[in-house]
Amino acid sequence: MTYLRLKSLIKGMLVGDNVIPQDEDTIIALVETALLTTATKADSLHLMTLSTTADVLRLAQGDYLIRMPVPPTLDTDLVDIDEELTPAVARYVASYISAQKGGIHIQAAERIILDYNAKTWEILEQMQLEAYAEGVADICTSAVSTEWTL
């Protein structure tokens, strides 16, 4: 999702409440805070890395690290997080601005993150099982080869 689209989503979430600030620097700061909050709670596949040279935010599952998301500055910039997590980012920003529904936006963001993490953990677990099976298969293959050559 582009930064412009994210701002439109936030505006839509705030209908009948406070409005999104006009100052672009303020919006960028709010989005950056929401990205950090989301990346702290979600195991974002987009932000996952094995590189120790990356600007690391925290540890993830296994040997993975979660890198710092890069905040958007131009309307055409893509939001630096998984597409499925951009509604959570928008909800967090809306919670910072809202006078009436801050708690509702936070609950919605956390529900999105919980659902996303459940899917991510399934994917990572499946990848680990496949890697383990391939490792065992390699060991079995070499053992069988050794047996036959004896």
What residues form DSSP beta bridges with 49?
65
Alpha helices in the chain (DSSP H): 3-13, 24-41, 86-97, 102-149
- d(Cα 118, Cα 71) in Å, to the nearest integer? 25
Give the pLDDT band of residue 136 (cuts 50, 70, 90).
low
| Cα 103 versus chain centre, distance | 21
Q: Where are the domains of the chain?
A: 3-149
pTM (predicted TM-score)? 0.83
- d(Cα 10, Cα 26) in Å, to the nearest integer? 14
pLDDT at 37 over 60: yes
For residue 130, give the amino acid letter. E
pLDDT per residue over 54-110, tens digit each? 999 999 877 889 999 999 999 999 999 999 999 999 999 999 999 999 999 999 999
- Among 25, 22, 36, 31, which Cα is nearest to 1's? 31
Question: What is the strand order of the sheet 65-67 is part of?
Answer: 48-49, 65-67, 56-59
